[in-house]
Amino acid sequence: MAQPDDALGYARAHREAFIEDVKTILRIPSVSTAPEHVPDIQKAAEWVAGHLKSLGFQSVKVLPTARHPVVYGENLRASASKPTLLVYGHYDVQPAEPLELWTTGAFEPTLRGENLFARGASDMKGQVLCFMKAVEALVKTSGETLPVNLKMMIEGEEEIGSPSLPAFLKEHKALLKADLCLNGDGGIVGPDAPSITYGLRGIAYFEIRLTGPATDLHSGIFGGAVHNPANVLAKLIAGMHDAEGRVTLPGFYDKVRALEADERAELNRLPTPEAWWLEKSGAKALSGEAGYTATERATARPTLDVNGIWSGFIGKGSKTVLPSKAAAKVSMRLVPDQDPDEIERGLKAYLGKNAPPTVTWELERMGCVRAPLVDRKSKAVRVGMEALKKVWNREPYFARNGGTVPVVSQIQDLLGIDSLLLGFGLPDDNLHAPNEKLHLPTFHRGVETYVRFLAEMGR
């Protein structure tokens, strides 16, 4: 049986070596949305598989899907009476653009102060390695029989909405059978504020494309006669919020589960007052749905954001074009019990009603998932909270996270397994943005938390 104290000692003695392995995988630009990075996706998957083998995992495989492979490996040496954990992670990353805003190369991991900078450092190659290093500490100090049975499932499509995962989960349902899913694709409230996340937001992501004139026109010759689709798109997007910051799409709030007074009190006890959001975002002022605090708005209320917009001439200089086309990527963060299908119908109804007869529009649905909530009273949550408390020596928080982890919903729906969200990313890790980073002191506390968690789950 693993001895946490020995494993913790090993972890403390091997911090530099752990980080070297993190750097190695960060050097692989496994951008899942970019066709040109398919070879890097394969390389990253094989690196993870090799590392699992080196830790004594068995049946390690790089399993194909319709697009990017899933890495699987198991260590079922614990007795059948011990719980089996399905550990979820992903080895793919977001695009690194805009490259010119990175201080050092996105795929050249660089240490500055307490942080390691690279795309994927926090989201989530760093988190995957954090768990694997806890396993390493246990294996190296107590042998290959772990306190619990583990099944690792590390996918390569999380950053594009995990399109192949549902089919994968269905195909490998028996292989993936487990008592609980441990999902490290989350974070804690702050470096001194450990937390477990019991709620996430869902998402409904769309691309809206408008066409006005048949071709780009000269704005001098046609301007005034012809409706400009970029102006039309601006008006359509502007109309999606009212003066109170509420989303105007038909039915948008119909299914939103109201926040109870005690839950709001708990969320607002989190160490994230308005000043925190201001500082972390670097915004000059905050704004959003009237009647809610920033923490509530960002974690427990639905939103609508433009993720991208483009039309006409966007190079340097001036071009007097009246564009033929205008497009925007628009996504809504969802909360329980909003249904992405109903949101899509609302968006279509809005566009149908408000798009003028001067343009045609089309809508592409690009990845939608409901918002999951986890049972706060389960044993795993209690053990996780205790582990956090021991490592940080302070009371952890219950938190909701405004991000989306589609796999949590899918694993619940398709495998019938609840997910414990225990990960160690920080809100200022610049996820999906330039200068993404991993906070090393938090990484090392994460390793110790996982060691304690695994040991205690096996008792």
Considering only residues 335 to 374 of the shown chain, the ones binding a copy of itself according to CB under 8 A are: 356-360, 366-367
In order of 7, 49, 51, 136, 456, the CA distances from 77 in angstroms are 18, 19, 18, 15, 17
- Looking at residues 32 to 51 of the shown chain, list those that interact with a copy of itself (rule: CB under 8 A): 33-34
Write out the binding residues for a copy of itself, residues 397-426 only, by CB under 8 A: 401-404
Q: Based on CB atoms, which residue is closest to a copy of itself, 301 or 452?
A: 301
Q: Are 442 and 436 in contact (CB under 8 A)?
A: no
Cβ proximity to a copy of itself, 13 vs 290, nearer residue: 290
Q: Which of 307, 349, 379, 382 binds a copy of itself (CB under 8 A)?
A: 307
Least distance (Å) between residue 80 CB and a copy of itself? 38
Does residue 259 belong to the site contacting a copy of itself (CB under 8 A)?
no
Residue among 407, 409, 367 at smallest CA distance from 165:
407
- Residue 328's H or E segment, with its range, is strand 325-334
The verdict on 233 binding a copy of itself (CB under 8 A) reads: yes
Q: Rounded to whole angstroms, how far apart are CA atoms 436 and 101?
A: 11
Assess 115 for contact with a copy of itself (CB under 8 A): no
| Sole binder of a copy of itself in the list 103, 244, 317, 393 (CB under 8 A) | 317
Residues 356, 122: Cα–Cα separation, whole Å: 44
The letter for the amino acid at 400 is: R
Decide whether 269 or 313 has the Cβ nearer to a copy of itself: 313
CA-based torsion, 443, 448, 454, 457: positive or negative: negative
Other Cβ atoms less than 10 A from the Cβ of 377: the count is: 7
To which residue do tokens 């049986």 refer? 1
**Amino acid, res. 97:** E
Tokens of 261: 């007074």
Span near a copy of itself by CB under 8 A; candidates 135-143, 144-152, 222-230, 379-387: 222-230
Q: Is 311 in the site for a copy of itself (CB under 8 A)?
A: yes
- CB nearer to a copy of itself: give 93 or 391: 93
Q: What is the dihedral of CA 159, 164, 168, 169, to 10 degrees?
A: 60
Q: How many whole angstroms separate alpha carbon 213 and alpha carbon 7? A: 67
The phi, psi pair for 61, rounded to 5°, reads: -145, 150
Q: Which of residues 234-253 bind a copy of itself (CB under 8 A)?
A: 234-235, 237-241
Long-range contact set of residues 33-36: C-beta below 8 Å, sequence gap at least 24? 33/94, 33/95, 33/159, 33/160, 34/95
Half-sphere exposure of residue 11: CA atoms within 13 angstroms, side-chain side: 30
Write each residue from 170 to 209 as x if it is in contact with a copy of itself (CB under 8 A), else as -, in one continuous string: -------------------------------x-x-x-x--
Question: Using the rule CB under 8 A, is 301 a contact of a copy of itself?
Answer: yes
309 binding a copy of itself? (CB under 8 A): yes
Q: 281 vs 142, 266, 331, 429, 442, CA distance in Å?
A: 44, 23, 19, 11, 20
For residue 338, which amino acid is it?
Answer: Q
CB of 274 to a copy of itself, least distance (A): 9
Using CB under 8 A, pick the residue from 113, 220, 258, 261 that binds a copy of itself.
220
Minimal distance, residue 213 CB to a copy of itself, in Å: 4
Two structure tokens written together for 333: 């963060």
In the complex with a copy of itself, which residue's Cβ is closer, 98 or 113?
98
Say how far apart CA 342 and CA 358 lie, in whole Å: 27
- Is 166 a residue that touches a copy of itself (CB under 8 A)? no
160 makes contact with a copy of itself (CB under 8 A): yes
Residue 308 lies near a copy of itself (rule: CB under 8 A): yes
Binding residues for a copy of itself restricted to 265-294, rule: CB under 8 A: 277, 280-289, 294
Smallest gap, in angstroms, from Cβ of residue 227 to a copy of itself? 4
Q: Is 103 one of the binding residues for a copy of itself (CB under 8 A)?
A: no
Closest CB to a copy of itself among residues 141, 435: 435
* Binding flag, residue 156, a copy of itself (CB under 8 A): no
> Exposed/middle/buried for 75, CB within 10 Å: 0-12, 13-18, 19+?
buried
Say which residues have a Cβ less than 8 Å from residue 313's Cβ, sequence separation at least 6. 319, 321, 323
The pattern of x and - marking residues 421 through 450 that bind a copy of itself according to CB under 8 A reads ------x--xxxxxx---------------
Q: Is 81 in the site for a copy of itself (CB under 8 A)?
A: no
- Footprint on residues 381-400 left by a copy of itself (CB under 8 A): none
Measured from the CB atom, the residue of 346 and 427 that comes closer to a copy of itself is 427
